[in-house]
Structure 1
Amino acid sequence: MVLSVGRLDWITEELENLKKQGLYVTIRKLQTAQGPWVVVDGKRVLNMCSNNYLGLAAHPRIKEAAIKAILDYGVGAGAVRTIAGTMELHEILEDKLARFKRREAAVVFQSGYNANLGALSALGWGRKDLVFVSEELNHASIIDAMRLAGAPKVIYKHVDMEDLKKKLEEVKDYRIKVIVTDGVFSMDGDLAPLPEIVELAEQYNAIVYVDDAHGEGVLGDHGRGIVDYYKLHDRVDFEMGTLSKAFGVIGGYVAGDRESIEFIKQRGRPFLFSSAMNPPDVAAAIAAVEILEESDELIKKLWENTHILQKGLRDAGFDLGNTKHPITPVMLYDEKLTQEFSRRLFDEYNIFAQAIVYPTVPKGKARIRLEPSAAHKPEDMKYVVDSFTELARKVGFFK
């Protein structure tokens, strides 16, 4: 006799297993605009886990730009870019981004994820003479893009230039070699050694593609990103960026030379098969770029808050890894402890800081990832340090 079971019972079992292992993610609900203090699940809390680095998500000038665009252009783009979805706003934004990044051209996508998916899959689509040489800790969008492309790939160890050289030697006979790396690694806040990567790329005649999602608005002149930070504009082939973090809006883009960007427009699947970025988002992004071009004051405030937070936590005894960025991974290691720590920060200290656990990071590397912003005040940072220290003693993390 065969017992009848529900077709989806296994999903319930999997969810229960995630909870037992401390890997179940509690998704909380914001009820106010993104900012340093927000209302989450009915409670006013200090927001320490947003990518809104410069506090632009609710900036009056950006909101005004979005509202005006709705009045002038409507809400939706109405079509994909290659049919009837390219509005003049899209081209204005692309021109501004290209100038901002000191490149010849740029192409805008609906998100940073789609930008990587579109550009990398376009470069590698079905090619057997191309190989991706990918950093071990690259973002999931890069991994998915390489899968979509179907081209061969090899993985080199995290920031290990000897291993990169070894992998390039192994694939030296491929006609096209594309080194792909995050500029800033989103879980640890450490930086890719771009000068060394570029030197190896030139030695092996390889293309360099940098995902600068967490670098722009944070590093370089007026937040132009990690390529600008290292002064490598003429030696890095592609820079991908997102408009949803420091820029405070939504969308993504890829910048490079004019012909390469035109090729991505012709072959990038999210560009070809998904409706264009909506007019109010495009207008808001234009305003964000203009704000960064005009002043670096917000970037200075971001780094002031970062120094207060990170020095305080290190002095208290927390391991923050090798971060060189406002991304502040407070290592707690154990998944269940990290989930409890996050919950108690919220319940007892009014601090909103989500647990980061497997599969976002490897098992045994759980952490609370803090992200200060330019909108925070120095006293906010000091409160976080004091709260983390007190709670660490309560849970037995500090003896």
Structure 2
Amino acid sequence: MVLPLMVVVFAVPAPEWASVPLALMVPGAILVGVVRYRLLGIVVSRALVYATLTAAVVLLYLALATVAAAALGRTLSPVPAAIAAALIAVALGPARTRLQSAADRVVYGRRRDPVAAVTELGDRVATTDEADLLPAVLATVTAALRVAGARVVGPGEPASPDDGALAVPLRVGGRDVGTLHVAERHPGEPFTTGDRHLLAALAPQVAVVVLALDLARSLERERDRVLTATHDERDRIRRDLHDGLGPSLAGIGLGVQAVQAHVGDRADPLTRDLLARLKEEVDAAVGEVRRIIDGLRPAPLDDLGFVAAVRRHADTLAPSVPVRVTAEDLPPLPPDVETAAYRIAQEALTNVARHSGARSAEVGLRARDGRLEVAVADDGAGLEPAVTDDVRPRGIGLDSMRSRARAVGGDLTVDSGPDGTAVVADLPLEVPR
């Protein structure tokens, strides 16, 4: 209302006594805006900066066009010089437009270019780690709008009232995933239509990121729940087999053996055969229970990971034999391969501690050409030679290690001599179907 009144007043001749009040109208209007509506930040910073940048762009444009026209005017007649000056002005137009766009971005952000803001947001999402993804997205929103800050409030979470803040619902596939709260730039400065259009373009992208992070957190919680349940169930089965069924079968076997010893030669042939068969069946059942217990996935693999589990087992042997574990960066291992590799390393280290008399040992874990290599070497006395298939010394667990390697499509080699023994398992990184 003040501006139209000033235009009317100054357009009509006014008496001299009214000149002073009229001259005070402009600073008075500014004072009212600053005091009543708290527009000092807008009056001083935003409008002043934008006006300064715009004036600088226009002056630079005019100066370049004038210099070029003056240079051509010295060599051309008036009409060609005027045409040349017009062409120069047109040629400098794109540069002026770019400078003006830069000034707009400095003062008002990406309000006039929502596509560029969405593209920038997509680039940040593609290059930022998951842990920093939401802060990076919110930082992009605040930079695009030139606001003090932004935050996401989850559905159902209480939101503290923010005077002047703009709340934008975040929805994906008809599902409410939260609300984006954007703080006001300055007290009393409302969001423009351009700001709201920009937020409308950015909100779906922010909603997708929020939903993806929520799903990732839910998946992590579900994974932890499943792993915990799996650990508990596996431990229960191991306890039941080891402490319940296993000892019961072993006790039955001892009872049968006691009956055999008691009856001796007095039993008829049929009774002796039945007792012998019963003893064999009980021994086979005890062996099957031990195989089941041994075949359960080791808990350290789930709790620590493959390399850390091998290191922990090596540390348990430190009082007998110092073991050094070297490991390269390994790719994700199939569960069967991971279990076989851990069991082989565990058995090989146990053999070193029990039988080799070594002063030190080393475990090497590395991946080469789609294969996992598990090498256990010691400086002990070596193995006794044996003339059997695959050069298998008996009684020290090599049969079990070789069976584990072959079960997943791998192989096991043993190189032993007076200077020590090296056991190398070569396992595929993908289990053949």
Q: TM-score range by the shorter chain?
A: under 0.3
Q: Which has the higher contact order (CA 8 A, sep 6+)?
A: 1
